[in-house]
Amino acid sequence: MRDGSLVLRLGHDEVQAVIRSAIGRVDVPVLVDGRQCALVRHHSPNSDAALKHGCTTELLRPKTSPEATAEAGPKPTPKATGRGRDRSRRQVQALVRGQAKPPYRPSAPAAPRIKVDRLSTNAYRRVRRELDRVQDALNLPVPEVVAIDSSSRKGQLAEHEKRRESLRDRQAFLRAVLDQAVPDPSFTGGARITPGCLVGVEDEDGITVYEIALLPGKEGEKLSPYSALGEALMWREVGDEVGYVSGSGQQRSVTVRFIED
């Protein structure tokens, strides 16, 4: 809906194809009576198409007339029968094939931006230990899914895959840190927030010591690097006032008071 008006009408088969594409993260043909009449293309969450439109699925339909793309949605066409129906289906299939782009091939992800070339010995050790914990988590088998129906099962599997995707992203980042930064016994850090350090953050409730890690140890409070505060704090310096938007949508700010190795 847009401003109370219908933007596009979707058939049941199209809706089902969109759902399957989103869950399975693959292109899914729209089949009617065993024949393809449209295509749902899946885009990687970090692709230009997904970021531009705010979604990972795209429904490709053959354009048969200007009315089929009007904002009020396509008008129903008379039902064809016999030889005319077969000819219409062949025309639709040809149009779909002509519109469909080659299968999406994600480009190699950009190398993570690492802003330091050395870490304190303790910070380097924490990064190494977190990488080991992430690898152990990725090696775990798929958990048993207990669901009351297929929809619930697919939802749980999708959440599991989303979690694994976060682990893989974190794994790549930590490996990049270890490849670029070297442990330096003479380096005490304490000026800039880096992977593996402990950071003292002050808000209205006082000072909290965090370890910014997806799978942290037990030396500080857990703060996910993918949280709003975790992203805002990384690479900041002592004394910085850091603003961020909380999960409830409130604007908040904290001050970096100290950094421990």
Is residue 171 predicted with pLDDT exceeding 50?
A: yes
Share of the chain above pLDDT 90, in %: 34
Distance from C-alpha of 108 to C-alpha of 9, rounded to nearest angstrom: 36
Distance from C-alpha of 245 to C-alpha of 198, rounded to nearest angstrom: 22
Distance from C-alpha of 115 to C-alpha of 128, rounded to nearest angstrom: 18
Look at residue 38 and give its three-state secondary structure.
strand
What pLDDT score does 11 carry? 82
Is residue 107 predicted with pLDDT exceeding 50?
A: no
Among residues 189, 195, 198, the alpha carbon closest in space to that of 221 is found at 198
Q: Which residues have CB under 8 Å from 126's CB, separation 6+?
A: 195, 196, 197, 211, 213, 217, 219
Handedness of CA 156, 157, 163, 165 (dihedral sign): negative
Does residue 155 come out as left (phi exceeding 0), alpha (psi in the -120 to 50 range) or beta? alpha
Rg of the chain taking only CA atoms, in angstroms: 25
What pLDDT score does 106 carry? 45
Distance from C-alpha of 22 to C-alpha of 40, rounded to nearest angstrom: 9
Pick the residue with more confidence: 68 or 117?
A: 117
Give yes or no for a contact between 212 and 234, defined as CB atoms under 8 angstroms apart.
Answer: yes
What pLDDT score does 246 carry? 85
Q: For the chain, what's the residue count?
A: 261
10 Å Cβ neighbour count for 82?
7
Give yes or no for a contact between 42 and 23, defined as CB atoms under 8 angstroms apart.
Answer: no
Confidence of residue 173 (pLDDT cuts 50, 70, 90): very high
The two structure tokens encoding residue 82: 């016999």
What pLDDT score does 51 carry? 77
Distance from C-alpha of 54 to C-alpha of 45, rounded to nearest angstrom: 9
pTM for the structure as a whole: 0.55
Look at residue 109 and give its three-state secondary structure.
coil
Distance from C-alpha of 33 to C-alpha of 184, rounded to nearest angstrom: 67
Distance from C-alpha of 260 to C-alpha of 233, rounded to nearest angstrom: 14
